[in-house]
Structure 1
Amino acid sequence: MGQAMAGAYLDRGYAVTLWNRTASRADALVAHGAVLAPSAAAALEAGELVVLSLTDYAAVYAVLEPAAGALKGRTIVNLSSDTPEKTRAGAEWFAGHGAVQLTGGVTVSPAGVGQEESVILYSGPRAVFDRHRAALDVLAGVADHRGEDPGLAALLYQINMGIFWTAMLSYWQAIALAEANGLSATDILPFATDTSDSLAGFFTFYAGRIDAGDHTGDVDRLAMGAASVDHVLHTMADAGVDTTLPATVAALFERGMAAGYGADSFSRVMELIRAS
């Protein structure tokens, strides 16, 4: 991800100074015109705007604590992933060293960096976002500032990832079932894409109802959903594929039935998922 971002800036004519814990990974970027700093501190000192792309905040501290003296006066565009709580703590840590953090959540793969259709979510001081908007626009077609709370972009990013990873696991599950029955991933692709495309309509339909607390069983019922999920689970088991994921889904439906929600919409399982 960091290589893609640095490459995007170089392609747009920006002067880029970079540092990587494995220096050889920067070879192609240096050949493209980047300057490889000898240390993290030297990279920080090269400019006021600093873009971070690290695995998590533990990595941020591991890299920057030894270089903390070079943070004063810097704007840190922190695109590292972590929890909202750790992101807020990170913003406080940077402020304690005289820097300001603008949190970013990158919603695309490295191949999407710099593309017009890509989106990066931001939160933190709006004035800082506006001041560096031109540079931020290099990384994504849509630089979307969501609010002053530094943890908000991290929260929205994790919401997005929660949907993505669970959906992709369900796809792997479907492929495993297909293969167990002599079909390939390509064979079921049309069905998978049709189902995926239909989800946007379901999301839209249920969003307003859930916000209103309306779980009326007029278009679907939990009892029918529970029966369907049970069929899916046993189909998986009969095929000999792993049932961890469908068993977890079935268990949630069963809890809803036990709670007396059978005649309600299956959206009622929200009552079981919500924070107490």
Structure 2
Amino acid sequence: MTANTTDKTLETASEKTPVTLLGLGAMGTALARAWLAAGHPLTVWNRTPGRAAGVAAEGAKVAGSAAEAVAASTLVVVCLLDDSSVGEALADTDLAGKDLVNLTTTDPAQARARAEWARERGARYLDGGIMAVPPMIGVPEAGGYVFYSGAGELFEQHRETLAVPAGTTYVGEDAGHAALHDVALLSAMYGMFAGATHAFALIRKENIDPVAFAPLLGDWIKAMAGPSVTQTARQLATGEYGKDVVSSLAMQVAGTPTFLATAEQQGVSPELIGPYFALMRRCLTESSGEEDLTGVVDLLLR
């Protein structure tokens, strides 16, 4: 390597935004390694010091305390167990002039309260909801991303650095919106898992190979989910629940006894699908029946 090349490499490295990261669990460690691989100077702290050994060997500076770590960089990223852990870790730190990005899983109310807490201490605040698991971090093709909400100018300033571990999606100035988007999507995921679980239970006692059944199930969910959520969103936006209906509420409610009977015949509890069917029947009593299933959304708000 020539002297000029060396100088250019050092100059590029020096331009990378320094990052402080508090928390080295599975996700925190993945984040740390992504920033290190991209050449960002990284200071880390973890309540259990031994967890820092791996990233220290890769070039991270290990701080002896959270206060020392916070002092090392303007950009401070927190990825801890819960909101209480965040408060405890930052209790004795000087946040004045810091840019605090909280990637800890919280609820919207906690995120808003933490944003105000940070503001009172002189820091700008972004809340984040990570839509990825650790193996997806630092792997662009894996499709992971992070919701961010809070100070818009802070997000724009650090967008490039924040995009190193995973893609970024900014969802507004309200600090609670990243957590809300996160929980909303994960709630849909668990609902999907519930349906898949019920489907596997139905075939469990039969001479049906679950491995052969899986692609049928996955493809069906994919084919139904995309158009359905788009249709529901449009109907919620316009208030026209009876527009472009393919399968009316009345028709779908009429079919539910078959699903319940099949579950009984197969010895499968209806507890995963029963509550949704009950909401469908209740919705039917309050509508013409020619509408879509979108009215169930409004029932949940009562």
1:75 shift after superposition: 0.9
In the other structure, the counterpart of 2:268 is 241
Matched, 1:104 2:128: yes
> Structure 1 residues 1-10 or 13-22, which shifts more?
13-22
Per-residue displacement from partner, 1:204-226 (whole Å, max 9, x unpaired)?
23322232112227422212212
Letter in 1 for 2:255: S
Matched, 1:154 2:179: yes
In the other structure, the counterpart of 1:220 is 247
Letter in 2 for 1:210: L
Are the structure 2 counterparts of residues 19 and 184 from structure 1 closer, same or farther at C-alpha, using a change threshold of 3 Å?
A: farther
Matched, 1:125 2:132: no
> Structure 1 residues 28-37 or 9-18, which shifts more?
28-37
1:228 shift after superposition: 2.8
In the other structure, the counterpart of 2:76 is 50
1:118 shift after superposition: 2.8
Letter in 2 for 1:243: P
- Length, aligned pairs only: 272
Following superposition of structure 1 onto structure 2, how do residues 253-268 of structure 1 map, counting pairs within 5 Å? 253-268=280-295
Per-residue displacement from partner, 1:51-79 (whole Å, max 9, x unpaired)?
111232122113222x2x32222111111
1:261 shift after superposition: 4.3
Per-residue displacement from partner, 1:136-170 (whole Å, max 9, x unpaired)?
12122x32222222112222112111111211222
Classify the secondary structure of the residue corresponding to 2:146: strand
Q: Which runs of 4+ in 1 moved over 6 A?
A: none
Contiguous gaps of at least 5 residues in structure 1: none
Per-residue displacement from partner, 1:18-73 (whole Å, max 9, x unpaired)?
122232222221222222222222221221111111232122113222x2x32222
> Structure 1 residues 171-180 or 11-20, which shifts more?
171-180
Are the structure 2 counterparts of residues 51 and 256 from structure 1 closer, same or farther at C-alpha, using a change threshold of 3 Å?
A: same
Q: TM-score, normalised by structure 1?
A: 0.90
Contiguous gaps of at least 5 residues in structure 2: 1-26
In the other structure, the counterpart of 2:49 is 23
Q: What is the rounded CA distance, in whole Å, between the counterparts of 2:252 and 2:75 in structure 1?
A: 51
Q: What is the rounded CA distance, in whole Å, between the counterparts of 1:10 and 1:40 in structure 2?
A: 19
1:233 shift after superposition: 2.7
Classify the secondary structure of the residue corresponding to 2:163: helix
RMSD: 2.0
Which one has a bigger Cα radius of gyration? Answer: 2
